[in-house]
Amino acid sequence: MEGKPTSGRRERKKLDTWRTIRQTALRLISERGYHNVSLEDIAAAADVSRATLFNYFRSKEAMLFDPDPEEQTHWETFLAQRPTDEVPWASLEAFFLDYTAGYETKLRLQKELQQGGTVLSQAKQDGSVRVHAFLSTWLRPRLLAQGQDPDESDFLLSIAFTAMSTAFARWDPKQDFGVFQHLIRQAFGRVGRGLLTPP
């Protein structure tokens, strides 16, 4: 019995360390630029050793793209709270708005790096695959429960990710983050109304 709280405290401490390193990296990169921050800089500012840093992140790039350890639990909770009769397209829009709201600093940095020509495509691709797999697992049974063809999930997700890519491409990271979320709503709304309907 006494081992469980100890284990829980240990896991919480690991999570706190992970987040401290991540937040420190994002702050330093925001202030100095990606190429002007070393792993040693991040470790020192986070008050951890280089060895400890590598226990949590395999690279500086991973600090921008690796998911929060509790990220999927949040996704599951968020979608479980959506109305069961909600149109799946509306659920997907709500999901992406919630998802991006929690990652303003990270997304702004990713866009700035993209504009600067820094290649981080593989890590970004890994993140997209993870989100796509999660949403596919959620969407298929939701469509089935609503009497729709579950095979439509691939089609809906392809359009949703295209809408997100379009919004991200149109957003200038120097703009307020609310502009990016407006572009997401605009893209989802445009598709939701039908492409043949004037905007």
| Model pLDDT for residues 33-47, shown as the tens digit of each residue | 888 999 999 999 999
Question: What pLDDT was estimated at residue 56?
Answer: 94
Domain ranges (residues) in the chain: 3-63, 67-193
| Model pLDDT for residues 101-127, shown as the tens digit of each residue | 988 888 888 888 877 666 565 566 677
- pLDDT of 146 higher than 50: yes
Q: What would the DSSP string read from start to end of the chain?
A: -THHHHHHHHHHHHHHHHHHHHHHHHHHHHHH-GGG--HHHHHHHHT--HHHHHHH-SSHHHHHHSPPTTHHHHHHHHHHTS-TTS-HHHHHHHHHHHHHHTTHHHHHHHHHHHHTT---HHHHHHHHHHHHHHHHHHHHHHHHHTTS-TTHHHHHHHHHHHHHHHHHHH--TTS-HHHHHHHHHHHHHHHHH-TTS--
The third-level CATH classification (topology) of the domain covering 67-193 is Tetracycline Repressor; domain 2 (1.10.357)
Mention the CATH class of domain 3-63: mainly alpha
Question: What pLDDT was estimated at residue 103?
Answer: 87
